[in-house]
């Protein structure tokens, strides 16, 4: 079973076969409001843990999306570039941002599981 | 354990604060007030709803003042370049307070009556504006701190307000009148900050919540927050003080020369008149213009504007996504040589040059009430 982990910056990553799929959480999309623009990294880009990987803009403001784990970008989700509102509708489902081949699987240990993330949200 | 006082404890509240919270608003600090940035609909839907039907905005944070005296229009002209003496009673005008350098201290709305003026100024400037007015006009200046203000904006605003104040339907755009609204003594102007037809309604603080609830109970009306207020005014090409205009920009540079009549241009007699007259005759070195990014990425306040060689020729002062335009819109200042509509510029966003053009404003056509 794929295991989903969460960062304090409200990104999620789900790993399968050494490839992580990264998105933003439902909480994050709610905070952003209506998403109107998404910029994704180039395929092949090398990202370090915590690097600015993508940009998501709502009517109100631009926000950066940090990658919770390091790796090489293998695929991006063009569907959310074409229809940014998908990020609001299915942040933790079909509106993933990018996939990357993990550079260091041990980094996953620094992230929260669902229960820990939910508990973290209650402190905000 | 006692909780730490939050910084929010220092914020002022409008008389509609409890209603905003009851409506599920997301509250933010704005100009020293705890204000709703959006309600449950969200900025995008609130914006579109206002353009399609009618939106109710709490603008009670703004400063309302009365300047007494049959000579009030003439006296106020000493500190604004607007032609107030040309206003017929019951008519209103947009103007600015200027400083000795011709910079803008604030922008304001002035409605003239036989024996007084009604003035509305920005929340962030109202303390300074009140002191400025009192310095020049003395005891004639009467802050109306006991009054709240809401704006009802959108193509159905007139039909809605007519249910509570039948006389409002016949008001001309940019006019004001003392009316009963739902039985409450109100001062109503047909004006606004969205580019749509609409009204601003001033009533005693104690009466505003009841009136707001009555208006919100009408099927066409939704509560609209500051987020959509900003995107609506940006699409309408209207300035936000402290962003698009400030003490470093003159009305000529800000493309507000239309607010200065032929008589006032010729006669001067307002602070900074020499600077402004010189810019009127020679042309300003820079100008506020509309900027339309060609792609989907918004270019926001602070983004530099460069020509094809990379030379910086201006800066964006307001920018974002225009829900009615369904794309990015912005305004900013550019060198006079780059101010013509259609001039290609690049907006520098996150280090990338985004293709954009100088564009005519408004981005969304004004749909003000015509007639009477």
Q: What does the pLDDT average to over B277-298?
A: 97
Q: Give the residue-averaged pLDDT of B334-341.
A: 98
In total, chain B counts a number of residues equal to 372
Residues of B in contact with A36 (CB under 8 A): 44, 296, 298, 321
**B316 and B305 Cβ atoms separated by less than 8 Å:** yes
Judging contacts by C-beta atoms under 8 Å, the chain B residues touching residue A59 are 43-44, 47, 227-228, 231, 320-321, 323
Residue A18 backbone dihedrals phi, psi, to 5 degrees: 80, 0
Residue-level pLDDT at A2: 61
pLDDT in tens, A36-72: 999 999 999 999 999 999 999 998 889 999 999 999 9
CATH 3.10.50.30 fits A3-122, yes or no: no
Per-residue pLDDT tens for B179-211? 999 999 999 999 999 999 999 999 999 999 999
Nearest CA in chain B to A33: B42
pLDDT of residue B9: 67
Q: Is the pLDDT of residue B6 over 50?
A: no
Where residue B10 falls among pLDDT bands split at 50, 70, 90? Answer: confident
Q: Give the mean model confidence (pLDDT) for residues B215-231.
A: 98
What pLDDT sits at residue B24?
Answer: 97
Task: Kindly give the pairing relationship between strand A11-16 and strand A3-6.
Answer: antiparallel
C-alpha–C-alpha distance, residues B56 and B45, integer Å: 14
Query: Do the strands B184-189 and B286-293 form a parallel or antiparallel pair, or are they unpaired?
Result: unpaired
Could you give the ipTM of this predicted complex? Answer: 0.87
- If pLDDT is split at 50, 70 and 90, which confidence band does A1 have? very low
pLDDT score, position A60: 82
Contact between B44 and A57 using a beta-carbon 8 Å cutoff: no
Which three-class secondary structure state does DSSP give residue A37?
Answer: strand
Closest residue of chain A to B40, computed from CA coordinates = A33
Contact residues, A window 22-61, toward B, CB-based 8 Å cutoff: 33-34, 36-37, 39, 55, 57-61
CA distance B225 to B147: 20
Confidence of residue B372 (pLDDT cuts 50, 70, 90): low
Q: Which two tokens stand for residue B249?
A: 């920009």
Going by C-beta distance under 8 Å and a sequence separation of 6 or more, which residues neighbour residue B210? B182, B184
Q: Which of B44, B228, B321 sits opposite A57 (nearest CB)?
A: B321
Q: How far is CA B346 from the centre of its chain?
A: 28
Token readout for B67 is 């300047």
How many helices (H) and strands (E) chain A has is answered by: 4, 9
What pLDDT, on a 0 to 100 scale, did the predictor assign at position B5?
Answer: 38
Summarize pLDDT for B79-129 with one digit per residue, the tens: 999 999 999 999 999 999 999 999 999 999 999 999 999 999 999 999 999
Q: Which two tokens stand for residue A88?
A: 């609001």
How close A37 comes to chain B (CA, Å)? Answer: 6
Alpha helices (H) in chain B, listed in sequence order = 17-22, 43-52, 72-76, 126-137, 157-162, 205-216, 226-235, 262-267, 273-282
Asked if residues A44 and A72 have their Cβ atoms less than 8 Å apart, the reply is yes
Helix (H, G, I), strand (E, B) or coil at A105: helix
CB contact under 8 A, B297 and A39: yes
Q: Which tens digits make up the pLDDT trace of A4-46?
A: 999 999 999 999 999 999 999 999 999 999 999 999 999 999 9
Helix (H) or strand (E) holding B193: none
Which residue reads 């489902």 in tokens? Answer: A93
Closest Cα in chain A to B230: A60
């Amino acid at each position: 079973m794929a295991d989903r982990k969460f960062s304090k910056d409200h990104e999620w990553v789900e790993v399968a076969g050494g490839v992580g799929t990264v998105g933003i959480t439902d909480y994050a999309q709610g905070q952003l409001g209506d998403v109107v623009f998404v910029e994704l990294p180039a395929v092949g880009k090398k990202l370090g843990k915590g690097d600015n990987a993508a940009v998501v803009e709502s009517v109100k403001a631009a926000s950066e999306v940090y990658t919770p784990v390091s790796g090489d970008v293998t695929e991006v989700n063009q569907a959310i570039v074409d229809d940014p509102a998908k990020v609001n509708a299915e942040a933790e489902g079909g509106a993933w941002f990018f996939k990357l081949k993990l550079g260091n699987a041990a980094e996953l240990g620094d992230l929260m599981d669902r229960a820990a993330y939910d508990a973290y949200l209650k402190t905000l | 354990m006692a909780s730490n006082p939050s910084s929010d404890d220092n914020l002022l509240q409008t008389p509609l604060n409890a209603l905003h919270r009851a409506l599920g608003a997301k509250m933010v600090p704005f100009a020293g007030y705890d204000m709703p940035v959006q309600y449950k609909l969200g900025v995008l839907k609130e914006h579109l709803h206002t353009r399609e039907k009618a939106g109710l905005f709490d603008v009670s944070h703004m400063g309302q003042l009365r300047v007494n005296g049959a000579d009030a229009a003439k006296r106020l002209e000493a500190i604004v370049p607007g032609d107030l003496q040309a206003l017929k009673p019951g008519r209103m005008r947009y103007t600015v307070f200027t400083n000795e350098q011709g910079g803008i201290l604030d922008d304001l709305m002035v409605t003239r009556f036989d024996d007084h003026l009604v003035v509305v100024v920005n929340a962030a400037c109202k303390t300074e504006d009140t002191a400025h007015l009192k310095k020049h006009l003395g005891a004639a200046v009467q802050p109306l701190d006991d009054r709240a203000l809401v704006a009802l904006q959108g193509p159905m605003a007139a039909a809605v307000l007519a249910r509570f104040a039948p006389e409002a339907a016949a008001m001309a755009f940019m006019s004001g009148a003392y009316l009963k609204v739902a039985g409450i003594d109100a001062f109503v102007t047909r004006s606004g900050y969205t580019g749509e037809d609409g009204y601003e309604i001033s009533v005693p603080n104690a009466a505003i919540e009841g009136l707001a609830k009555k208006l919100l109970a009408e099927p066409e009306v939704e509560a609209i927050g500051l987020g959509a207020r900003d995107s609506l005014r940006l699409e309408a090409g209207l300035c936000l003080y402290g962003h698009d205009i400030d003490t470093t920009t003159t009305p000529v540079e800000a493309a507000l020369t239309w607010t200065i009549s032929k008589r006032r241009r010729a006669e001067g007699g307002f602070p900074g008149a020499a600077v402004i007259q010189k810019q009127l005759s020679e042309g300003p070195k820079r100008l506020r213009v509309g900027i339309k990014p060609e792609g989907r990425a918004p270019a926001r306040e602070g983004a530099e504007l460069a020509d094809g060689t990379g030379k910086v020729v201006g800066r964006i002062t307001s920018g974002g996504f225009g829900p009615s335009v369904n794309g990015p819109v912005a305004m900013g200042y550019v060198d006079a040589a780059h101010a013509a509509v259609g001039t290609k510029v690049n907006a520098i966003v996150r280090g990338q040059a985004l293709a954009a053009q100088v564009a005519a404003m408004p981005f969304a056509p004004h749909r003000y009430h015509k007639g009477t």
